[in-house]
């Protein structure tokens, strides 16, 4: 089999050849946090580009199947609105760390971002939950998903703004969501997670 190229994804030639070798590719599309949708399989030599960020490849011979998901940044043809006046916006989130903790624990990093990169720090953004999900909802939606416990200061807990069924089982399209606001202003979006 010869090497194939489709958009950005390049597939190297197999180390062996066989008439029984079947190689194919398909797009994997993000649906929501728990689901993806697969496009139909296409021959690996199909010249049409894959305009998706994840491309699933599979090569099968009589004895073995090799499957892999390739990542790429698929350039979309959408034009930015007022592209000349929009600076690049990067949201860097240090998971489960309050703003004041970041200043104490990462002083040089915070100083570099603020002074060298002209970063804007969300000074009053504090940790309100035990992990990524509740803290991310507060930052990106402005809504809590867990009660805010205030027992250390002898006060009643503040009830959550959204229940599990609200944020996990319903569309949030009508809610104010920071990345969508940026997209509507003409910015391109890319989500990158580092573990």
Give 105-135 pLDDT, tens digit per residue.
Answer: 999 999 999 999 888 888 777 778 778 888 8
- Whether residue 189 lies inside any domain: the answer is no
- Whether residue 177 lies inside any domain: the answer is yes
Q: Within this chain, do residues 173 and 107 fall inside the same structural domain, yes or no?
A: yes
- Whether residue 78 lies inside any domain: the answer is no
Q: Within this chain, do residues 47 and 100 fall inside the same structural domain, yes or no?
A: no
pLDDT digits 0-9 by tens, 137-171: 888 888 999 998 888 898 999 999 998 888 888 88
Question: Which own/partner pairs from 80-84 qualify as long-range (CB within 8 Å, at least 24 positions apart)?
Answer: 80/186, 80/187, 80/188, 81/185, 81/186, 82/185, 82/186, 83/186
Tell me, what's the pLDDT at 116? 92
**Section 23-49 average pLDDT:** 87
Range of the domain at 14: 4-71
**Section 2-21 average pLDDT:** 54
Tell me, what's the pLDDT at 195? 46
* pLDDT range class, residue 86, cuts 50, 70, 90: low
Per-residue pLDDT for 4 more than 50? no
Q: Within this chain, do residues 45 and 129 fall inside the same structural domain, yes or no?
A: no
Tell me, what's the pLDDT at 19? 61
Tell me, what's the pLDDT at 42? 93
Q: Within this chain, do residues 63 and 125 fall inside the same structural domain, yes or no?
A: no
Q: Within this chain, do residues 39 and 96 fall inside the same structural domain, yes or no?
A: no
Q: Within this chain, do residues 160 and 96 fall inside the same structural domain, yes or no?
A: yes
DSSP 4-20: EEETTEEEPPPSS--TT
Q: Within this chain, do residues 50 and 92 fall inside the same structural domain, yes or no?
A: no
* pLDDT range class, residue 3, cuts 50, 70, 90: very low
* pLDDT range class, residue 92, cuts 50, 70, 90: confident
Both tokens assigned to 113? 């971002």
- Whether residue 107 lies inside any domain: the answer is yes
In percent, the amount of the chain with pLDDT more than 90 equals 18
Q: What are phi and psi of 106, to 5 degrees?
A: -130, 55
**Section 52-66 average pLDDT:** 88
The number of folded domains in the chain is 2
Q: Within this chain, do residues 45 and 133 fall inside the same structural domain, yes or no?
A: no
Cβ atoms of 190 and 171 closer than 8 Å: no
Q: Within this chain, do residues 165 and 101 fall inside the same structural domain, yes or no?
A: yes
Query: pTM, whole model, 2 decimals?
Result: 0.49
- Whether residue 193 lies inside any domain: the answer is no
Rounded to 5 degrees, what angle do the CA atoms 31, 189, 195 make?
Answer: 70
Q: Within this chain, do residues 92 and 180 fall inside the same structural domain, yes or no?
A: yes
Which residues does 194 contact at the CB level (< 8 Å), separation at least 6? none
Q: Within this chain, do residues 91 and 19 fall inside the same structural domain, yes or no?
A: no
Q: Within this chain, do residues 177 and 111 fall inside the same structural domain, yes or no?
A: yes
- Whether residue 195 lies inside any domain: the answer is no
Tell me, what's the pLDDT at 11? 54
CA dihedral (125, 129, 132, 135) in degrees, to 10, reads: -30
Query: Taking all residues of the chain, what is their mean pLDDT, rounded to a whole number?
Result: 79
- Whether residue 45 lies inside any domain: the answer is yes
Tell me, what's the pLDDT at 156? 92
Per-residue pLDDT for 81 more than 50? yes
């Amino acid at each position: 089999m010869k090497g194939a190229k489709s958009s950005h994804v390049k597939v190297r030639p197999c180390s062996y050849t066989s008439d029984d070798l079947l190689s194919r590719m398909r797009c994997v599309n993000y649906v929501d946090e728990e689901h993806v949708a697969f496009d139909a399989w296409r021959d690996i030599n199909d010249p049409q580009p894959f305009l998706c960020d994840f491309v699933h490849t599979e090569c099968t011979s009589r004895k073995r199947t090799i499957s892999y998901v390739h990542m790429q940044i698929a350039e979309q043809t959408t034009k930015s609105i007022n592209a000349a006046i929009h600076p690049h916006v990067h949201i860097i989130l240090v998971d489960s760390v309050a703003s004041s903790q970041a200043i104490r624990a990462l002083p040089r990093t915070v100083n570099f971002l603020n002074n060298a990169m002209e970063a804007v720090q969300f000074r009053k953004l504090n940790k309100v939950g035990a992990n990524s999900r509740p803290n991310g909802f507060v930052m990106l939606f402005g809504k809590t998903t867990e009660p805010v416990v205030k027992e250390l200061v002898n006060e009643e807990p503040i009830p959550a703004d959204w229940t599990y069924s609200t944020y996990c089982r319903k569309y949030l399209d009508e809610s104010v969501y920071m990345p969508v606001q940026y997209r509507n202003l003409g910015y391109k979006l890319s989500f990158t997670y580092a573990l």
